Amino acid sequence: MRCFRPRSSKAVDEVDKTKAVVENHQASQSRQVSRDVRADVSRLMRPDDANIVGNVHGGIILKMIEEAGCIVGTRHCNTQNGDRCLAALVRVEKTEFLCPVFIGEVAHVTADITYTSKHSLEVQVKVMAENILTGAKKLANKAALWYVPCSLKNVEKITEVPPIKYASEEKEEEGRKRYEAQKMERLETKARIEEVVPPPPSPEQHTVGFSQSSLIHLVGPSDCTLHDYVHGGVTMKLMDEVAGIVAARHCNTNIVTASVDAINFHRKIKKGCVVTVTGRLTFVSNKSMEIEVLVDASSLVQEDKGKYRAVSAFFTFISLDKENKPLPVPPLKIDGEEEQRRFEEGKARYLQSKAKRLADKERQQ
């Protein structure tokens, strides 16, 4: 327990001694690259990182690459006096996945700072995948990322980037060219990026269509039982998530689940399926919202099976203020017969459940 006394000079001495040992140890290995301009992130690939045939998702590799880049960038930008800052990603250059990575392999990600301008820096990253059983190593990815340092006090303020030393003038000149090229491209896309029309239209606020939401989930190993079927609890968690998004979109406040109507699980969902969970408002009272949630499953790899309805249920949410007291909910704008019918059914469930609560209370008294 000597450790938790940072004020004790003894402890500090000890830590310093250890630090000296550690540094000495590393120096002896001539890790000549300065610690400021290199970062490593590495870990073992797990079933949750991969698809059902064991290929690690590209997204997992991209996430590790960015983590290494953020570490080396943030570390470097804080090596001088001034505001503390965090390196924020502004651009990733085109990158190729050179070979698949598998569960049980170790991914080693190494990030080096390769160019600095006044307010941005380039990080080049290599991903090596190591099979620890055979010893085989392969280059899985190479990427280049651009970061800018944002002040921790004021995230809109871009701080200055300390310059790095280059191995040669040629290297610096190459870096400057890459910098200019990406700067130009970023300016170009800045205008373009906003234009691309997203597919779904955005209807009027407080209508059913406005808050309606869907999420897609690819069933992974950790979602499943020993049978390779999805745990009912996993499905319910996804349903609650979508219902919560619908409720929050409708009232723009902090919302919580108040109750869930009976749910029947008629069809099982197998590993490797894509689950689409859709939620839409059916009924709104003064202080509660009823959201119908539909769960559809379809196998990605078995064409014949098609999409099928696995579960459906009604969730009731309420909106809370900062002291966790219920807030009024905006009324629902109904459009068409179908929505009206669902609203009436929801109202019937609401009144029935209210009556039952009163009856329960009387019985208890």
329 forms part of the interface with a second copy (CB under 8 A)? no
34 forms part of the interface with a second copy (CB under 8 A)? no
Residues 14-33 that bind a second copy (CB under 8 A): 14-15, 17-19, 22-23, 26, 29-33
**In the set 174, 179, 221, 333, which binds a second copy (CB under 8 A)?**
221
Can you tell me the distance from the alpha carbon of 148 to that of 293, in angstroms, rounded to the nearest whole number?
Answer: 42
Of the pair 176, 305, the CB lying nearest a second copy is at 305
- The window from 116-124, 163-171, 179-187 that contacts a second copy (CB under 8 A) reads 179-187
**In the set 260, 333, 345, 347, which binds a second copy (CB under 8 A)?**
260
Instruction: Examine the residue annotation and report whether 240 is marked as an active-site residue of this protein.
Output: yes
Task: Count CA atoms within 13 Å of residue 295 on its CB side.
Answer: 30
In the numeric block, which tokens belong to residue 33? Answer: 């690259």
**In the set 34, 82, 119, 155, which binds a second copy (CB under 8 A)?**
155
**In the set 132, 184, 351, 359, which binds a second copy (CB under 8 A)?**
132
Nearest one of 240, 256, 315 to 282, comparing CA atoms = 315
CB 229 within 8 A of CB 272: no
286-310 residues labelled b (16+ CB within 10 A) or e (exposed): eebbbbbbbbbbbbeeeeeeeeeeb
42 forms part of the interface with a second copy (CB under 8 A)? yes
Residue 172 C-beta: closest distance to a second copy, Å: 19
Can you tell me the distance from the alpha carbon of 121 to that of 112, in angstroms, rounded to the nearest whole number?
Answer: 10
User: Sign of torsion, CA 346 348 351 356?
Assistant: negative
Residues 56-95 that bind a second copy (CB under 8 A): 57-60, 62-68, 70-71, 74-75, 78-79, 84-86, 88-95
Of the pair 172, 228, the CB lying nearest a second copy is at 228
Residue 257 C-beta: closest distance to a second copy, Å: 3
108 CB-near residues (< 8 Å, 6+ apart): 40, 42, 127, 128, 129, 130
Catalytic center residues: 51, 240
